[in-house]
Each structure stands twice: as C-alpha cells, then as structure tokens.
Amino acid sequence: MYRLVYVCVTFSSNRSCQKPFCGDVVSSPCYRSRREPRNPTRPPCRDDRREQVVALMRRSQERLCAAFEQQEDALRTAQPHMGQPGRFTGSAWERPGGGGGTPRVLTDGLVFERAGVNVSVVFGEQVPPSIWQTRPATRDKAFFATGISMVLHPRTPYVPAFHANFRYFEVGDDWWFGGGMDMTPTYGFDTDAIHFHRTLKDYCDQHGIVNYAELKRTCDEYFYIKHRHEMRGIGGIFFDMLHPTESEGWEQAYQFVEDGITAIQEAYLPIVERRRLMPYGDRERQWQLYRRGRYVEFNLVYDRGTIFGLQTQGDAEAILMSLPPLARWEYRYQPAPDSPEASTARYVQPMDWASMSDNTDTP
C-alpha cells in the first residue's frame, strides 16, 4: 500500500509555473526532471493527465472525510451523552525532493478512534529503490506519483478496520495505476464479509479490464502476515501496474480507479451503521487491542507503501498515521476454544465470500 498525501501542483512547459497553485497547500516547482528534457513525441495530454488524477484525489478526500464525519454525527444523534463527534483536521507537508501533501486526520471520535485520509503528489529525478528493485528497467529514471490512502480504526470492536488506497505512477515514459481496499474485523460476521466482497465484485464486473477473482487473490496474498500464517483480515481487492494496452487504456484505467473510490462508501459504511451501536466491554476491547497488534506487524514489516513513503522522504507522521492509536501484545496468548475470539481464525484465511449465502450474523 502506498501511503501518499496530496498537494495540488500545476504543470507547465516553462521553467517555472505560470498558473497559481490550487488552494492553500504546499507549493512546489513544476514536475520536470532536469535529466529529462521535454520530449516532443510524448503524448500532448500527459500533464493534463497528471492534473486530472490529482484533482480526483483531492475531490475524493473532501467527499470521504465528509462521509466519515456524517457517521460521527449520526452516532452523536443516537447517543447524545457520548460527547462531541470527531472532526478531521489537516496540515500540509513538503517533500525535500519534490512535492508534498495534506494529511487529514480524525482523532478520538465517537465512531473512529483514529481515521486518516491522505493524498499526495511526489516526484523526483530518481525512482526510489522500492520501485526499481521489483522493476529494474525503471532504475535511474524520473518519477511522478500521486494517490489517496485511508485507514480507519473504529472505537467499537464490532466495526471492522478499513483500508483503501488508489494511486497513479509515471516512470520515464511509462505509466500505471494501482490500488485496492480491504477490511479487518476484530469480530467477524459473515453478513459483513459477504456484503463487502459482493460490492467489490459488482464494481469489478462493470469493468472489462480487470477480473474480481484475480484481484481478490492478489489481495489475499499481499495482506498475508507470513510470520503469523494468517491474513490481516478478510481481504478485498488489490491491483498494481494496471496499464491497459488499448488506445483508450488510460481512460479505462482512470475510470476504474474513480469508480473504486466511489465504491468505498457502499462497501464499508453500511457495515459501520450496522455495528456501531453494539454494546461491548473490557473483554472485547482487550481482544481488539490484541488483534490490532497484527495490523501493526504487517504495516511495519511488509507494507510497500510504508517503505515507499519513507524511501521518498515523505512525512513520517502521515505515513505512520495508518497505525492504530493503541495496540497490545501478549506472550503466546491463545483464545479459549469455541469462544467468539477463537472464531476470528475463520476470518483471516482466504474465503470465497462473494459466493456464500448470507444466512448467518453470528461472530
């Protein structure tokens, strides 16, 4: 997962930008490598493409933050004694090598103990090792990357944690999209898992350039905690290097990403609304903190986005915002057999949720 945060940059063929930067965000010079002079054979709309994706990321950040704040407001209305609903705040950061971003973070809310929605633009003259080590042909080439990334850590153990990111890369004359979304329940419910995966399948089925089963399998493999022999959660979809070869390939890939960001609310928020008022006690809270430890382990050991962000000198606070505010570890802990906690094991192994019958709602 690439944790990218947003700055709206205007691109120009001149040495310095002629148009103003968008909004009160980090100012950075136009993306143009000194090693890579303007190529007259390059598609004339390339800079427009960058701006189009950046604009999508910014719009999506505003819309999703508003949607998550509505969940806070709804719980405050249902439970007035709970206090004030959480609100997103943000600040801009600047990357020394080029670019920057604007993380938006909600802390200590009623529904979300921590939620972050980050968007960024980063660029430079040399692609970072996290890219060229898996794609040797990209080494020593200029790069441009922008994307949106979000992580939601709910307060109640019965609302699953959620992660999504969508991104766009250019390296030299090549380009690709990537991204996906996944869900991590503390206490699993078949109804929730089935709804989540069916929504993702319906979304993928509307686009001929992808296959849901392949994207799900890639997600199951990527979010696997090798040293624990389990997945981080129930998975979702994950894709990388999406570059359709058709003449309209860029537009097709862009539309797939745009629709994916739109699908976030349909896939996740009905589950939040279904679970946010379920009562819980210290036992459930302690299990939630224990399971959050798995989330921390994956993000710090395996997550590509964390590695990419740190290698590109991104803002450490924004990168590590994905971690839960609290977590715990207990030496060789095993839940009691046949307990609700023990049933979690079923939800951290690959399952064909989209094909299952949703006739149960018991953790």
Q: How many CB atoms lie within 10 A of CB 82?
A: 13
* Closest to 178 measured CA to CA, from 299, 53, 269: 53
In eight-state DSSP terms, residue 172 is T
Spatial contact of 282 and 266, defined as CB atoms under 8 Å apart: no
Choose between 251 and 134: higher pLDDT.
251
pLDDT at 345: 95
Going by pLDDT thresholds of 50, 70 and 90, the confidence category of residue 177 is very high
pLDDT at 361: 63
The span from the CA of 16 to the CA of 231, in Å, is 47
pLDDT at 335: 96
Spatial contact of 168 and 175, defined as CB atoms under 8 Å apart: yes
Choose between 119 and 31: higher pLDDT.
119
Mean pLDDT of 188-209: 98
Spatial contact of 348 and 231, defined as CB atoms under 8 Å apart: yes
* Closest to 94 measured CA to CA, from 315, 260, 270, 303: 315
Report the run of H or E that residue 69 belongs to, with start and end.
Answer: helix 46-78
* Closest to 188 measured CA to CA, from 159, 163, 216: 159
Spatial contact of 183 and 162, defined as CB atoms under 8 Å apart: yes
**Hey, which residues are catalytic here?**
163
pLDDT at 15 over 60: no
Going by pLDDT thresholds of 50, 70 and 90, the confidence category of residue 46 is confident
pLDDT digits (tens, 9 = 90+) for 230-286: 999 999 999 999 999 999 999 999 999 999 999 999 999 999 999 999 999 999 999
pLDDT at 228 over 80: yes
pLDDT at 352: 98
pLDDT at 78: 95
pLDDT at 340 over 50: yes
pLDDT digits (tens, 9 = 90+) for 68-96: 999 999 999 999 999 999 999 998 888 87
The span from the CA of 81 to the CA of 86, in Å, is 14
Share above pLDDT 90 across residues of the chain, in percent, rounded to a whole number: 67
pLDDT at 30: 40
pLDDT at 186 over 90: yes
CATH superfamily, domain at 46-355: Coproporphyrinogen III oxidase, aerobic (3.40.1500.10)
Mean pLDDT of 198-217: 98
pLDDT digits (tens, 9 = 90+) for 301-315: 999 888 877 877 777
The span from the CA of 289 to the CA of 274, in Å, is 21
